[in-house]
Structure 1
């Protein structure tokens, strides 16, 4: 265990305090390396595998920085001085250890799932969850699809010159358009015999926020709609959300949150993305540089979400 004394929660440390910590423990030379590599905060620092990557780059652009922390060998390669390497390793290990300690202090064990998770929440937040009997009745009477059911039917669409009604293939969660175009009857017959038809329509809507300079409530608009057969996974949902976020960001639009209903794959996606009883599952959603930070008081033992969140999530009733 490290003997370094670090603030808690460590993820809430400011950039200036982080730089002071690096300077005091590792030296100004290492801090210069950090700044040169555009590492702005602790979240970015913790994702770095080797802080001295810059030293090994085959360029003379950073030669002055390299000479402060490393020596150049006869073959032209660079070797970091062992003293700097040891201090950096000690600091990085201490930061990661403190992060784990903070998680254990703020959140319950990540092994609490299923009925145990239900009991844990019920004991700590009385009245927050319905009874198990009520939950079972709702499960028995609900399909829990974040989609609209349709009658399976394959038709020809003259506008797109393709056949619609088949299960839409996904690539990293994104629907692939125009996948069922053919000029051959034999190929169509093969599709009808082998491919699944869509039993649901997956619809994605965007709801703009209210403009403070206007009293008009903006109307939602359709982002996409496509047929599916229910074979997608929670990973598909997470990848699609992340893709939607990144693509809208390129257009100057900031996605604030995602809303869905009780489909189990969507609920699992909500848990993974927000870190709700899913601490040991990694996904780029959890470590995005655009994530906002919530300074959670240490005595909020009932607050189970992580302090770093990219978006808000709303689970609506079915």
Structure 2
């Protein structure tokens, strides 16, 4: 049956999606849309996460904004400059192709609302833009402060920023929180809107973070777990805990001697090709594996290490963990590492030679992983104290949301949005912006439907595992949280230290610790503080690089962002006496190409006026991109190969 006009045209659908909030411009932070999202969701606080992924390095023309997308977005004070690649000159575009970097990665910022009693609060895509690897920790810090300021004007208080363990992001977190790092010429804690954490004086012996914070910082616990798991697989590291080494051979022996019914492991869990496979972390740290390892000789050190991994999962990833258990497991991991590091620091150097290690650092977890464990535990306790002191609402206790997984989920979902006749899972920067716009509208409809906010409820099909995860979220969000008192928290902290000390004493660490008088929480923490102070960072940069909200005019909120945005009239003026000359080797017909003799005035911005074989022609800007592209960029569909390609 033919029903002409019953199905809207693609352009009509795209226009409707754009009006519904699906239009996303590269480098533009959608604070106006964030304000609408905040009004519909009814939240006041949120987590801002940031992450990047590899993209196909291809430059295309975007007619909606009259810009070329696919180049690396310039950063000013860490803030992306929008529409910086606009031109009406073919020669200028050619110079960009020759001299400007293509974007290797796509960087996105997600806002995760913290809403009490609503597990279906959808994350919001704040911004997306192509970048390369040339940025500094101070760029990240400036961008975070700017994002905090702008979000606050949209009635959203950013409680914390969450990223993966990239060294620049980690240093930015340390600078922001003052965690053994200091930024000269600026101080972000001397403001009226900082969060002031009331701490008992005696806690300063083991609590290292300053008590005035503009926002907190969390390293993504999923990435942290994979880092710890990968440390076992490292050929260089030979982690030593007391009298035993953490060994993958112990796990191999478990597979060979025990039934899979007992431990549930397979070989790829122990020797994964994909080093970011989080599922294997969960399986390795399960109670079944820890119980099964008790029957394996010389496995105690490996058990302790897997217990460290398990504590991080319980503290930050599982949805149904109580606040008391989160504090206990978060600080159990901290004290386990502190005691371990203290023991390594005081043993004789001759002792480590027996294990073939040239450096004590090879016998311990990596420094970024150690800082991440410390930062997360301090930020976790800070959130609990701020809620207890009524400086943050109860919704801030949704600790499992303090991660960069909304970014990862957005990347996965965007890769899945491709045509039914296409198996390509990767995307260019322009393709991501278009797909993410559709995804944001679809996600908003789905979450409103799940929350019962739509008049006509829609039932979206879900995998049974996803339904179980949502059920856990619902159960956790509906629980009434009893906040622990100061005395209770202090008891939890001391219990976690004592348990960590007793666990490590089973590997005969206590003998050396007692001899060197490093047995109390104060003595161990004092040694750890001294080690951190040795690698403390002091970062200095010129004053013009520092973003300050006081320097920003309320009448011109986007002045910093649009520094290189050209005037439309300047762009539209073209000196026709100096046309770009292009050789077509005598070809006079351009079938299938948008090269014409005349164009309507309404389309003049989308075409270059050029001279082809001494004849005046109008060439569409996308055709110009095709002409200047000399190779076909590709990115592997296999995740492991894709990561290896992007790291070259």
TM-score when scaled to structure 2? 0.26
Mapped contact 1:146–1:266 kept (Cα < 8 A): no
1:233 aligns with 136
- What is residue 92 of structure 1 aligned with on the other side? none
Question: What is the aligned partner in structure 2 of residue 197 from structure 1?
Answer: 102
1:146–1:263 contact (8 Å) kept in structure 2: no
2:207 to 292, 300, 303: 303
Q: Deviations over 1:183-226 (max 9, x none)?
A: 1111011011111111000000001111x3x5353100100000
Deviations 1:152-198 (A, max 9, x none): 11111122111111110111111111110111111011011111111
String of CA shifts for 1:257-284, please: whole Å, max 9, x gaps.
1111111111110000001111464534
Contact 1:272 1:283 in 2 (8 A): no
Structure 1 counterpart of 2:118, from 215, 227, 232:
215
Contact 1:200–1:228 (8 Å) recurs in 2: yes
Confirm or deny: 8 A CA contact 2:51 2:109 kept in the other structure: no
- Structure 1 or 2: more helix by fraction: 2
* 2:91 aligned residue: 186
Higher relative contact order (CA 8 A, sep 6+): 2
Partner of 1:304, secondary structure, is coil
Structure 1 residue 299 displacement after superposition:
2.3
**Distance in 2, Cα, partners of 1:245 & 1:256:** 9
Is 1:245 aligned with 2:148? yes
Select the residue among 165, 187, 206 that pairs with 2:70.
165
Is residue 155 of structure 1 aligned with residue 80 of structure 2? no
User: In 2, Cα distance between the equivalents of 1:280 and 1:149?
Assistant: 30
Could you tell me whether the CA contact under 8 Å between 1:165 and 1:227 is conserved in 2?
yes
Deviation at 1:148, TM superposition (A): 0.6
Alignment counterpart, residue 272 of structure 1, candidates 170, 175, 200: 175
Partner SS state of residue 158, structure 2: coil
Which of 1 and 2 has greater Rg? 2
Map 1:24-103 to 2 at 5 A: none
**Which residue in the other structure is 1:314 paired with?**
218
Partner SS state of residue 61, structure 2: strand
* Unpaired runs of at least 5, structure 1: 1-144
Cα distance change of structure 1 residues 291 and 282 upon mapping to structure 2, 3 Å threshold: farther
Write out per-residue CA displacement over residues 103-153 of structure 1, whole angstroms, 9 at most, x where no aligned residue. xxxxxxxxxxxxxxxxxxxxxxxxxxxxxxxxxxxxxxxxxx941111211
Q: 2: distance between equivalents of 1:285 and 1:295?
A: 18
Runs of 4+ residues deviating >4 angstroms: 279-282
Give ranges in structure 2 of 5+ residues lacking alignment.
Answer: 1-49, 224-648
Count of aligned pairs between the two proteins? 172
Q: CA RMSD in A?
A: 1.7
Report the Cα offset of residue 293 of structure 1: 1.2
Could you say what secondary structure the match of 1:235 adopts?
A: helix
Distance between the aligned counterparts of 2:121 and 2:186, measured in 1? 32
